[in-house]
Structure 1
Amino acid sequence: MKTLLFVILATGLLATTAQAEEQESPALIEGQSAETLAEAVSHLSDYNSRLSALLSQPELRDEDLAIIHDLTYTLENALSRIDKEVDAMTASVEEVQQGAQSDDRARVREHGQAYLESIRFLVK
């Protein structure tokens, strides 16, 4: 659950930063897209490792800053996909809640299974 909360907070912060930067100048670099939640989580893991390795160096060179700049686009794409998927998960949980409240077992099962299928990529 802590991981999910971190991802949600990071997504919000990065999305706000991305929107502000987009208004200043158009991005020339797109980064890797994340078409699915699994792909987004994979990119996030890979590119976070790359960023961590660069940041662990005692000094950042100009080349390192260029690499960091480039990889942040993929991180933004991954976080944007995760944000969209978390919104869908939230909607599923609300459906489960409303189904349980109204004794609609089919609704609970359908949306509960959809939620569990999606969340498994974020929580292990």
Structure 2
Amino acid sequence: MKYLAPLAFAALLAATPALSQDAVDHYAPQPSEALEQALSNFSEYNQIMATILAKDSLTPNDMEDVHQLSYTLEVALAKLIADSEDLAVRLEYVHQASEGSNGARLREYGLDYLETAQKIVP
């Protein structure tokens, strides 16, 4: 049940570009195949968007630039959501191993969890 909201958001995110296909041109996003790549794209493209949005007024070119950025941001965010859901599962394994007083499994699951978690926040 606790995973339904992220899954629903991911489904909405995936469907959103399809809702407006007739109205705008579409751009090829930068790939976010690995978590590190998704984090990098998310950070970089958000910074670019922030710079554009900080302007006193937005030109049509600015709006088109943000539109183009959004494709890469959507792909990066979808990867972050998917990997966060996987990370939540890994953390639950850690939780269960700690409750079961199983040191070997706790170490195995904990190290596996930390390997991904520390990519997000070192």
Q: TM-score, normalised by structure 1?
A: 0.80
Q: Distance in 1 between matches of 2:19 and 2:57?
A: 31
State the shift of 1:25 in Å.
2.6
Give the fraction of aligned pairs with identical amino acids, expressed as a percent. 29
Counterpart AA for 1:114: D
5+ residue gaps, structure 2: none
* Alpha carbons 1:15, 1:80 under 8 Å: kept: no
Q: Does residue 1:88 correspond to 2:92, yes or no?
A: no
State the shift of 1:107 in Å.
1.8
* Alpha carbons 2:10, 2:81 under 8 Å: kept: no
* Alpha carbons 2:13, 2:74 under 8 Å: kept: no
Which is bigger in relative contact order (C-alpha 8 A, separation at least 6)? 1
Counterpart AA for 1:38: E
The residue that corresponds to 2:15 in the other structure is: 19
Q: 1:96 to 1:14 in 2, by over 3 A?
A: closer
34, 41, 56: which one aligns with 1:43: 41
* Alpha carbons 1:44, 1:79 under 8 Å: kept: yes
State the shift of 1:13 in Å.
6.0
State the shift of 1:123 in Å.
1.4
The higher radius of gyration belongs to: 2
Counterpart AA for 1:31: P
5+ residue gaps, structure 1: 1-8
Which aligned pairs between 1:1-124 and structure 2 lie closer than 5 A?
16-25=12-21, 28-124=26-122
